[in-house]
Structure 1
Amino acid sequence: MTHGPTVLDVSISYGVPRAGIPAAVSFRRWVGAALDGRIRQADLAIRLVDAKEGRAMNRHYRGKDYATNVLSFPAELPEGLKLPLLGDLVICAPVVAREAREQGKPLNDHYAHLTVHGALHLLGWDHEDEREAECMEQLEREILAGLGIADPYLAVD
């Protein structure tokens, strides 16, 4: 556990119109909640993209030919180089909006969940097997509850 709040430098860039997109201050708050007590200092970027850019990035970096909700790119620093650079998140706005509608969730809550999810990936959390997935999902629930956001994994009727 680190002591004191995480010192954050979060830059937000937009490849989509900002209408319907949460404010930059919200993304910073969500990242701060995800990283608080887990890392002392972090510098990361969040890019909001359209489906075309999201699909191109997912195809290029993961070999999957569709737009996905969030992509995480942890920083790969040379050994011995100590910088607070954590990495980048790419969030595909139309996918997030569609999923929120389909799942009956408030749009801002879904953005918060995916931002927290992506930030945890940047810290090295993963969900490749069932045990890892359960641990990561529980951590996400706790972080989101601290933000006043309902369990994102509860099925909506």
Structure 2
Amino acid sequence: MSIAVQVQYAVSRTGIPLQVDFQRWVEAVLVNQSKEGEVTIRIADEAEVAELNWRYRYKEGATNVLSFPFELSAPLPFQISLLGDLVICAPVVAREALEHAKEERAHWAHLVVHGVLHLLGFDHQQEAEAQQMEAMEITILKSLGYPNPYESA
């Protein structure tokens, strides 16, 4: 498996996981998916995420993670292996971890896993989809040594 993870920091790196952490979390999702490619993770502030959330989802305010799967508008004469982009809002991650009494690093890992599953086409709009996606998240996070993100602390 070959996966490249590019991390863009649009905020101070203080308190933000390292690139190697993001790489490990993305690889943990892809290990059983037989996927290769590239994922870009942008760590942003609330203003940037709120603007993207409005532009692409028509929802106000900043959210914790946005997923943008790579989609071709027309077939290419060569192979391309981009999985897509994640935009994670650092202030929202910190606030949610505090509000839900979660370890912040575990919350970062959860949001990366959640976002990469979206890049792979998983969703949680329907109850059955949500249950499947949550089960995958729990299993992947457990393999990384993190607790179930859906249980209270």
Superposition TM-score, scaled by structure 2 size: 0.95
Correspondence 1:28 to 2:20? no
Correspondence 1:116 to 2:141? no
Correspondence 1:54 to 2:54? no
- Aligned residue-pair number: 151
Question: For residue 3 of structure 1, what is the aligned residue in structure 2?
Answer: none
What is the identity percentage for the equivalent residue pairs of Structure 1 and Structure 2?
51
Return 5+ residue gaps in structure 2 as ranges.
none
Shift of 1:83: 1.1
Q: Distance in 2 between matches of 1:128 and 1:37?
A: 23
Correspondence 1:130 to 2:124? no
Mapping of 1:133-148 within 5 angstroms?
A: 133-148=130-145
Q: 1:89 aligns with which of 86, 97, 101?
A: 86
Q: 1:73 aligns with which of 68, 76, 90?
A: 68
Question: For residue 4 of structure 2, what is the aligned residue in structure 1?
Answer: 9
Deviation sequence 1:29-71 (CA, Å, 0-9, x none): 0000011120331211000000111111101110011000000
Q: Distance in 1 between matches of 2:133 and 2:35?
A: 20
Superposition TM-score, scaled by structure 1 size: 0.93
Return 5+ residue gaps in structure 1 as ranges.
1-5
Q: Distance in 2 between matches of 1:43 and 1:131?
A: 29
